[in-house]
Amino acid sequence: MPSRKAPSRRSRDSVRQLVDDLLAGDKRAAAKLISLIEDDEPEAMEALARIHPHTGRAHIVGFTGPPGVGKSSLINRLVRTYRTQGKKVGVVAVDPTSPYTGGAVLGDRIRMADTGVDAGVFIRSMATRGHAGGLALATFDAVRVLDALGMDVVFVETVGAGQSEVEIATRAHTTVVVEMPMTGDAVQTMKAGILEIGDVYVVNKVDLGNEDVLIANLKFQLEPRDGWTPPVVRTAATEGRGIDDLAEVLETHRAFLDSSGVLQRREVARARLEILENVQRQLSQQVRGLSRLGTTFERLAREVVERRIDPHTAAQRLFARTTSRRRPA
Amino acid sequence: MPRKIRVLIAKPGLDGHDRGAKVVARALRDAGMEVIYTGLRQSPEDIVEAAIQEDVDAIGLSCLSGAHMTLFPDVVKLLRKRRAGDIVVAGGGIIPEEDVPRLKRAGIKEVFGPGTPLRDIVAFFEKAGKGA
Amino acid sequence: MADSEERKKLERELRRWETTSLKDALEAHPERRKEFLTTSSRPVRRLYTPLDFSADFVERLGKPGEFPFTRGIHPTMYRGRLWTMRLFAGYGSAEDTNARFKYLISHGETGLSVAFDMPTLYGYDTDEPEAKGEFGTCGVAVSSLEDMETLFGGIDVGSVSTSMTINGPASVLWAMYLAMAESRRVAWPKLRGTIQNDILKEYQAQKEWIFPPEPSMRLVVDTFEFGSKHVPQWNTISISGYHIREAGATAAQELAFTLANGLEYVRWGIDRGLRVDDFAQRLSFFFNAHNDLFEELAKYRAARRIWARELRDTFGAKNPRSWLLRFHTQTAGVSLTAQQPEVNIVRTTIQALAAVLGGTQSLHTNAYDEAYQVPNEKAARIALRTQQILAHESGVANTVDPLGGSYYLEALTDELEEDAYRYFDRIQDLGGVIPAIRKGFFQQEIANSAYRYQREIEDKERIIVGVNDFVVDEQSEVEPLRVSDASLRAQLERLGRIRRARDRAKWQRALDRLRKGCEGDDNTMPLILDAVRACATLGEICDVMREAFGVWEEPLLY
């Protein structure tokens, strides 16, 4: 499909060169590849194909939790701790795109200001660009780029709203759910399903006090899954407290994933999911791309509104139309 | 979907007057761009590193303390050293007209003095994003 | 309006006017706009009448010099003594600024006001990497006691009052001033002046913080304590709304946030164990004078009334001097335009008028070239003349609170007062000033107001003369002021020499004692003074405090 975009600064470099540079540790190449993928440039698929064999080394840790709970500050501190251990760290931080303007102010990087210049750190801010849930479509492909760049661990920070925890849990190796104690007397409720999704639970902002009830609640309700009982860690990110404990827990989980075979199982499940998603996406693109589709599509839509056909049957007909076009004449 | 323009808005040096930088960041967002605001007290190294990692089309520098003649050219120099000289750099703040030609010779593409309408600034970054 | 019969009569009259003369006029010629707004986007009605006075109008107004001080803090105000004409000045080296001080004094300024450069404001010496490119560009560089001595060379600090705009490292600069006075054998009880030292508004607006809120508040209260014992005529804080307004706040926000901060400082002083009457008299304020004359005027009067009530009734201060809100005013820097800069003289004049009508104790008027740079001599002189015209030619200083009783003004004063209390409630709900700072409440409110204001300008709902209307395409003829390389070199040499020449052992001991004191509970002022006397530089002292207290990282909002 020809690109409808004007030739951009970004696609001028050849993909192969970019990937070679990436594998040699070039950050600019990494940044450009991420943009290529984010923008869904025609070379994106080739880029991902070349990168994929070089991934699988990095420990991918996802952070989810409500806005304002301190994910960015926590990640900032963890980056520092990992750096003192000589590890290389990548961060992908996601912020929501405004549904009205299509723009976004990506504000997570600012909390990592003191770690950004370190050669062993790479931080990339991404906007959701209309993707529902707490991540961008390209988020985990961006993680792959950082994996291939040589990062030992990649932190992914979600927007914290919507279904971000589900997305994270199906793709990250370790999912960290961050909460904070509520002030006042109201009973603190947590999102349905949140207790089933995390590998590690962090109660942040314990400097504000009031955390005992929440922690007791969590410990009481969290159950072992696949042989791992999610621990609860107390932190006060802005004061740097509890960070070493958290880092240790993350390492322990990583070791557990390797030794227990759970990692392998999850990776296969993840691959299945991704393949299916890609099938959906590619199909959708094809269906939309057929030029004469416009009339069929519009006609079907009208028929649905006029109650002459239901939406599921309409989809079937559309699908039949498009696949029939692909049969050789 | 048309490509998103990515812009880094940065405050180099010690100057803490961020009213303008924040207003510009919002205006660019309202115009559909992705804006990374670095916050205060950024060194030229911080700014260039961020610009490279975020693969931005352009950088907007804001300084109201009079230190622009040193700090702005430093950013451009560092970008070129890191082979990222294609990233467009613009500046704004308290900058006497006399300094503008020198800043432009040092590689600052445009200087937006006090009172510049937001739409002019938005238009500039839109052009920069299209590779102009 | 006490009498309800009078009231009804007035209401009838008003209605009659509306349905006859007004109606005819509007039909013949509709008004220019649908809505008329103040600079803060507050709607202004067509007409104000005695009906807009509150029922206890007379009590709420009071007499000048008496609770609640709406009309002024002295019975005679400017008939007794004019406000202090105090121009903010500073650039380059201490020598450069010393010359400017003398120039201004020779032209009739009656108080000194020091502007420091960025590195000094943030507690860095000129030779530190953070200071690169920033020496003397927006104020004077003071890294050492020697710099402070040079800054005031040939000036009798025993007789002139000095205001220093310094916040994060205020204790250190104050210690340098005190040590300088000491070396000239001027007794501290004789010294008059102010240090801004208002750290809360830094987190909210100006961003010149170093340490986190709690240690910073400790440093501030240390100065209250030290000042009340040893430097009784010194204002150890200037609780500021100026910067909050410059950052984009409305008049109501400026009023509310400033007073909320002020009340917070009182609370911290009392928590330390000080009696409110022992330190409240030395709390001073600093407000902005923006474009809308009446709104600004109302703001100052509401401020005095609120403060008096809170100090007397909420904090139980007994001494009437503790109830006084004394303030310095600066005309709004943010209103100045780079286009047609001479026109800024007109803006500044109107703004200064508001401050004088509002009963300010001290006034700085901006120079017309400040949209570009630090003022040159001629521009600074005109700014001073502006005040002198108001004082000696305009007649507004001849009577106390000349606009008191204006229907519009009194209604607006009441409105602003109500707005302030609503904000107080919201801040309370968030847990108080410091929790609200952590949650980014003030910063977000300010950023929102700033954005709305800018949009109004973009949409031409708000006209800025010379910028979005009445535009002229002309080259600026303003001569920029440059900081010389020679000044920078001299400063660097001086620092090098100081570091080499001092008694190293004494210096080290003083810094060690300071560190221990910071980690403990001692009042830091005597320890900072000792470090200053041992020739420790500003950066060195602040580094010790940075280690002990940590560094603040702000929550991001835009």
Sequence ranges of the domains in chain C:
58-458
Token digits of residue C313: 């009734």
Residues from chain B that touch A106, judged by Cβ atoms under 8 A, are 34-37, 54
Which residues does residue A22 pair with via DSSP β-bridges, in sequence order? none
Pick C556's closest partner by Cβ from A111, A183, A238.
Answer: A111
In a domain, B1, yes or no: no
Alpha-carbon separation of residue A49 from A26, A43, A46, A145, C292 (angstroms): 19, 10, 5, 11, 64
Chain C positions in Cβ-Cβ contact with residue A105 (cut-off 8 Å): 558
Neighbouring chains to B with at least 3 Cβ pairs closer than 8 Å: A, C
Residues C558, B118: C-beta atoms closer than 8 Å: no
B1 pLDDT exceeds 70? no
Spatial contact of A154 and A78, defined as CB atoms under 8 Å apart: no
Record: contact B45-A106, CB cut-off 8 A: no
Under an 8 A CB cutoff, do A109 and B54 touch? yes
B85–chain C nearest CA distance, Å: 22
Q: How far is CA A242 from CA A73, A77, A181, A235, C523, in A?
A: 12, 10, 15, 4, 32
Whether the CB of B81 is below 8 Å from some CB of chain A: the reply is no
Which H helix or E strand runs over C56? none
Q: Which residues of C touch A111 (CB under 8 A)?
A: 553, 556
CB contact under 8 A, A103 and B52: no
**Chain B: closest CA distance from residue A151 (Å):** 14
- For A134, phi then psi, to 5°, come to -95, 10
Cα gap C102→C12, rounded to integer Å: 62
Q: For residue A72, list chain B residues with Cβ-Cβ distance below 8 A.
A: none
C-alpha separations of A274 from A48, A266, A270, A277, C405 in Å: 13, 12, 6, 5, 74
Q: Identify the pLDDT of residue A160.
A: 73
- Show residues of chain B in contact with C206, CB under 8 Å: 16-17
Nearest CA in chain B to C118: B14
Segment B13-40 mean pLDDT: 94
What's the pLDDT score for residue A115? 64
Q: What is the pLDDT of residue A67?
A: 81
Nearest to C458 among B13, B96, B119 (CB): B119
- Asked whether residue B120 is assigned to any structural domain, the reply reads yes
The helix (run of H) or strand (run of E) holding residue C235 is strand C234-235
The answer to whether C215 touches C519, Cβ cutoff 8 Å, is no
Q: How far apart are CA C172 and CA C546, in angstroms?
A: 13
**Which residues in chain B have Cβ-Cβ distances shorter than 8 Å to C247?**
17-19
Q: State which residues form the domain around B44.
A: 6-129
Give me the sign of the Cα torsion angle B90, B93, B97, B99.
Answer: negative
- The domains found in chain A, sorted by start residue, are 1-54 (no CATH), 55-260 (3.40.50.300), 270-323 (no CATH)
> So what's the pLDDT on residue C443?
93
Q: CA C388, C393, C397, C398 torsion: positive or negative?
A: positive
Q: How far is C216 from chain B (nearest CA, A)?
A: 18
Task: Just give the CATH number of C58-458.
Answer: 3.20.20.240
Contact state of C372 with B13 under an 8 Å Cβ cutoff: no
Residue A210 at interface with chain C, using a CB cutoff of 8 Å: no
Alpha-carbon gap, residue C525 to C541, rounded angstroms = 12
Is C371–B114 a contact, with Cβ atoms under 8 angstroms apart? Answer: yes
Q: Which residues of chain A have pLDDT under 70?
A: 1-13, 113-116, 161-163, 183-192, 289-294, 322-329
Residues of chain B in contact with residue C458, where contact means CB-CB under 8 angstroms, are: 117-119
**Burial bucket for residue C231 (CB in 10 Å: 0-12, 13-18, 19+):** buried
- The pLDDT, as a whole number, for residue A187 is 56
The closest alpha carbon to C289, from C340, C346, C347, C247, belongs to C347
> Token match 């089933």: residue?
A196
Mutate to test the interface with B, among C203, C207, C444 (most CBs of B within 10 A): C207
Instruction: Find where tokens 């950024």 sit.
Output: B42
- CB contacts < 8 A, B to C, total 104
Chain B residues in contact with A110 (beta carbon < 8 A)? 37-39
Question: CA-CA distance, A89 to B38, in Å (whole number)?
Answer: 19
CATH number at residue B42: 3.40.50.280
Determine the Cα angle at B70 with ends B69 and B71, to 5°.
105
Long-range contacts at C454-460 (CB < 8 A, ≥ 24 apart): C454/B23, C454/B27, C454/B118, C456/C41, C457/B117, C458/B117, C458/B118, C458/B119
Positive or negative torsion for Cα C140, C146, C150, C156: positive
Which phi and psi (to 5°) does residue C514 adopt? -65, -45
What DSSP state is assigned to residue B39? -
| Cα A262 to Cα C79: distance, rounded to the nearest angstrom | 86
Q: Return the residue in A72, A110, A180, A205 with the most chain C beta carbons within 10 A, the one to mutate for interface testing.
A: A110
Residue B34 lies in a domain: yes
Tell me which of C430, C553, C554, C558 to substitute to probe the interface with A (most A C-beta atoms closer than 10 Å).
C553
DSSP A273-307: HHHHHHHHHHHHHHHHH-TTHHHHHHHHHHHHHTT
Q: Are B67 and C137 in contact (CB < 8 Å)? A: yes
Helix ranges (H only) for A119-163 are: 139-149
Length of chain B: 132
Structure-block tokens of residue A217: 């609640």
Inter-helix orientation angle A44-51/A139-149, to 10°: 50
- Name the residue in chain A with its Cα closest to that of C439: A68
- Any A CB within 8 A of B16 CB: no
Q: How far apart are CA C519 and CA C499, in angstroms?
A: 26
Treating both helix axes as pointing N-terminal to C-terminal, what angle do C538-549 and C213-230 enclose, rounded to 10 degrees?
A: 130
Three-state secondary structure call for residue C42: coil
Backbone phi and psi for residue A243, each to the nearest 5 degrees, phi listed first: -70, -45
| Helices C94-106 and C377-392: angle between axes, nearest 10 degrees | 30
Give the chain A residue whose CA is nearest to the CA of B3: A39
Across the interface, do B66 and C138 touch by the CB < 8 Å criterion? Answer: yes
Interface of A with B in 261-280 (CB under 8 A): none
Q: How many domains does chain B have?
A: 1
Q: What gap in Å lies between CA A274 and CA C25, rounded to an integer?
A: 72
Touching C: A residues 217-246, CB under 8 Å: 238
What angle is formed at CA C21 by the lines to CA C18 and CA C27, rounded to 5 degrees?
Answer: 90
CB within 8 Å: B55 and A10 = yes
Cα angle A94, C442, B31 (rounded to 5 degrees) comes to 45
In whole angstroms, what is the distance from residue C367 CA to residue C23 CA? 45
Q: Half-sphere exposure of A101 toward its Cβ, with a 13 Å CA cutoff?
A: 17
Compare all CA atoms of chain A with the CA of B44 and give the residue at the minimum distance.
A117
In chain B, which ranges are E strands?
Answer: 6-10, 34-37, 58-63, 88-93, 110-112
Measured between beta carbons, the chain B residues lying within 8 angstroms of C334 are 19
As averages over each run of 10 residues, the pLDDT of chain C (558 residues) reads 80 95 95 92 94 84 95 96 94 94 92 96 95 93 97 96 96 98 97 97 94 96 96 97 97 98 97 95 96 97 97 97 97 94 96 98 94 86 96 96 95 95 95 92 94 93 93 77 88 96 97 97 97 98 96 72
Which of chain B's residues have a Cβ under 8 Å away from the Cβ of A18? none
Is residue B98 a part of any domain in this protein? yes
Torsion of CA A299, A300, A301, A305, to 10 degrees: 100
- Shortest CB distance from B65 goes to which of C138, C464, C476? C138
Residue of B71, B95, B117 lying closest to C468 (CB–CB): B117
Chain B interface test: which of C454, C464, C478 (most B C-beta within 10 Å): C454
Asked if C189 reaches chain A (Cβ–Cβ under 8 Å), the answer is no
Q: What DSSP letter does each residue of C98-166 carry, written as one string?
A: HHHHHHHHHTT--EEEEEBPHHHHTT--TTSGGGTT-TTSSSB---SHHHHHHHTTT--TTTS-EEEE-
Q: Which of B42, B43, B84 sits opposite A28 (nearest CB)?
A: B84
Q: In degrees rounded to 5, what are phi and psi of residue B86? A: -80, -10
Chain C contact for B23, CB < 8 A?
yes
End-to-end CA distance of chain B: 20
For residue A125, give the chain B residue with the closest CA.
B54
Q: Which residue has the tokens 């390797």?
A: A258
